[in-house]
């Protein structure tokens, strides 16, 4: 949804109130220096928007770093992959921020219990994935809202993705792309061996997914929420956390919903 106020007045709201975060590359750092020289830089806590300079990895890092601060993030592509990024241009940055369309996302909350009795929690903006740690395939039981839906999945791994993350690892694992606003979560196996023909499922956005690791001692499994890894898990609970929101900003006509739809027609 676009901001409600006219572009001319909104541009003033961003003047002197932009924070910048750059990837650890020469190109991104040089771009950040030029933009700061031109627009100044506000402390992030006082910023009206954060401009993330890099690729999708940098955008993910920016979102995690400031998750819960309710500061919109606007990405400009200075990297190799930029599905979540806008085109890099130095001119009229304040006006671009004022005209931007907002996409509000909710992360997944992972709660992982380990073999030694530990418990770890983490948030995932893209996906929560379970991955085998050794040459042995993983064996996983899958429950949805307390009901066993798959007694045993033998696989390299399995993941639950957000709609925004459905075009990332989920898509590489041949999972479905989910449009924003569909209120669905893709559940996708990674190199499933048995049942061989199972291709995953689309679950309601409010569903709770539980993974129970079978033969965990022989077939150890790691759980990963974006880039937070917990090794040797025995049970992993995943659900969308709607108490946490993050806002991404996109140039008009290139919003995230449009990109997700367009990605489904890419050949």
Output the pTM of the full model: 0.86
pLDDT of residue 203: 97
Tens-digit pLDDT profile for the chain (267 aa)? 333 344 444 888 899 999 999 999 999 999 999 999 999 999 999 999 999 999 988 999 999 999 888 899 999 999 876 788 999 999 999 999 999 999 899 999 999 999 999 999 999 999 999 999 999 999 999 999 999 999 999 999 999 999 989 989 999 999 999 988 789 999 999 999 999 889 999 999 999 999 999 999 999 999 999 989 999 999 999 999 999 999 999 998 777 778 788 877 876
Q: Is 56 a catalytic residue?
A: yes
Residues annotated within the binding site for NAD(+) are 56-57, 126-127, 156, 164, 167-172
What's the confidence (pLDDT) of residue 263? 79
**pLDDT the model gives residue 107:** 96
Q: Give the active site residue among 13, 56, 145, 251.
A: 56
SS (H, E, C) the chain: CECCCCHHHHHHHHCCCEEEEECCCHHHHHHHHHHHHHHCCCCHHHCCEEEEEECHHHHHHHHHHCCCCCCCEEEEECCCCCCCCECCCCCCHHHHHHHCEEEEECCEEEEEEECCCCEEEEEECCEEEEEECCCCCEEEEEEECCEEEEEEEEECEEEEECCHHHHCHHHHCCCCCCCCCCCEEEEEEECCCECCCCCCEEEECCCCEEEEEECCCCCCEEEEECCEEECCEEEEEEEECCCCCEEEEECCCCCHHHHHHHHCCCC
| pLDDT for the residue numbered 83 | 80
pLDDT score for 79: 81
Domains of the chain by start residue, with CATH: 7-105+245-263 (3.40.50.10330), 108-240 (2.60.200.30)
């Amino acid at each position: 949804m676009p901001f409600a106020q006219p572009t001319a007045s909104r541009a003033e709201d961003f003047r002197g109130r932009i924070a910048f975060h750059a990837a650890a590359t020469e190109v991104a750092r040089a771009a950040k220096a030029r933009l700061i020289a031109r627009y100044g830089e506000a402390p992030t806590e006082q910023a009206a928007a954060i401009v993330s300079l890099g690729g999708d990895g940098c955008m993910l890092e920016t979102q995690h770093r400031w998750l819960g601060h309710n500061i919109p993030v606007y990405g400009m592509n200075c990297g190799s992959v930029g599905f979540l990024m806008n085109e890099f241009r130095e001119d009229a940055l304040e006006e671009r921020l004022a005209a931007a369309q907002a996409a509000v996302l909710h992360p997944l909350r992972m709660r992982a219990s380990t073999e030694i009795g530990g418990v770890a929690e983490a948030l995932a903006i893209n996906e929560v994935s379970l991955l085998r740690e050794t040459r042995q395939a993983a064996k996983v039981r899958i429950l949805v809202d307390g009901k066993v839906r798959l007694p045993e999945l033998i696989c390299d791994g399995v993941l639950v993705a957000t709609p925004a993350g459905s075009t990332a690892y989920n898509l590489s694992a041949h999972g479905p792309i989910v449009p924003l606003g569909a209120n669905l979560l893709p559940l996708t196996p990674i190199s499933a061996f048995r049942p061989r023909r199972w291709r995953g499922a689309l679950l309601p956005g409010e569903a709770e997914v539980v993974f129970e690791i079978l033969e965990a001692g022989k077939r150890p499994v790691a759980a990963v929420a974006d880039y937070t890894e917990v090794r040797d898990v025995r049970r992993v609970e995943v659900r969308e956390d709607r108490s946490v929101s993050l806002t991404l900003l996109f140039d008009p006509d290139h919003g995230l919903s449009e990109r997700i739809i367009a990605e489904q027609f890419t050949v």
